[in-house]
A = this chain, B = another copy of it.
């Protein structure tokens, strides 16, 4: 039977044990930060030359000029043409659903007019240019290309620039095909902190962007944190998590493999079950035991469950809701008879999967909502990636002459209270003006 923490909410020290299990801190150590700062500075000052050097060193890819870094559109199209038809259809089905959901998220401009003719509002614009980081190697997921790129395109972003490392020159055909499906505008064979630097500062070949999104390793995360301010970033993601709340009436094999589907991501991933029924928990454990051998990533699953996984017996579903709000999970499956009643009481989660049929995996790939979600309890204050992350607002203030006279008095009083006399005088000019609109 795979080793996994077994907790009961009635245990003394339960809260402390749970918090110890949840604790996660992805701190880049001083060595990582120093390396990243050096790479950022080199790319910023030496541009393409530095990019080519780092790409030769880290990706074993020797290119002669900056232009060689670009993977042309024709190559993306070729990948899409060459992959099996079933995969192409799945990518296109998924893309269509992600797009349909994203369309509902788009923010619109608005304004209103007050009695004296003063207009207030909010004008929404898309970002001009966005960079999308796509990891290479084992974490190269075409689904992530769709999830990051499509909301940006729906927002109306002018140019979407993707970077993806190609160690030893190896291209991931599904990733390229996904880029073609999503409408990515330009792709560069770049990874690591040097790719983040190129997107943030621009080089002779890579255009500077306004925001960088997409997951990456610790160097990529540290680089994104450093360039935040010069450009926007999405979030600093921790390991993936699932919390399953089950009433004990779902097929235990379904729950077992739902927990596996998170645990298989990597050794730090976290899979937790909350259930009021101790017998059912044992049946899930038995199903895990039965199914684990079939899993190609069994070693990863085993480590993840042993280190960070838990089967937790709770008093009842009310307590499960309280704990779920404390855990603020990235993914929350509500595998219960009346999931709507529970969902209405959840305040902190990245995405909720309601009912026994809604496996998290359906949301990971094709239900429509984004799979880029807040991890490590950050759902307390942040949201899934969405169209709104690629739009921004500008406030609109258009005072009528009459409106300015009235507001100017209030502004003058407050400005003088703060000792800001130029502010006060600026407001007072509009108070004393005799103009009418």
Contact = CB atoms under 8 A, between A and B. Distances in A.
A417 B380 contact: no
A142 B414 contact: yes
B104 A365 contact: no
By Cβ-Cβ distance, the 7 closest A-B pairs, closest first, are A232-B381, A369-B395, A354-B398, A357-B404, A260-B422, A351-B395, A90-B413
B359 A127 contact: no
Contacts of A376: 229
Interface in A262-298: 263-265, 291, 294-297
Contact of A361 (B394, B400, B426): B426
Given A232-B382, A251-B429, A359-B408, 16 more contacts: A87-B414, A90-B413, A91-B414, A104-B112, A128-B348, A143-B414, A229-B378, A257-B426, A260-B425, A301-B422, A348-B394, A351-B394, A359-B411, A363-B395, A366-B407, A369-B397
A433 interface: yes
A355 B399 contact: yes
A247 interface: no
B365 A410 contact: yes
A357 B117 CA distance: 12
A417 B142 contact: yes
Interface stretch (A7-15, A310-318, A339-347): A339-347
Interface stretch (A50-58, A66-74, A118-126): A118-126
B357 A403 contact: yes
Number of copies of this kind of chain in the complex: 2
B359 A427 contact: yes
17 contacts: A90-B414, A127-B380, A174-B417, A210-B380, A229-B378, A260-B425, A295-B421, A296-B419, A297-B422, A346-B394, A350-B395, A358-B404, A365-B407, A365-B410, A367-B407, A379-B392, A388-B388
A211 interface: yes
A210 to B, nearest CB: 4
Given A127-B381, A395-B363, A426 B352 contact: no
Given A393-B386, A394-B346, A410-B365, A357 B418 contact: no
A419 to B, nearest CB: 7
Contact of A229 (B236, B369, B423): B236
Nearest to A119: B354
Given A362-B411, A403-B357, A261 B174 contact: no
A400 B257 contact: no
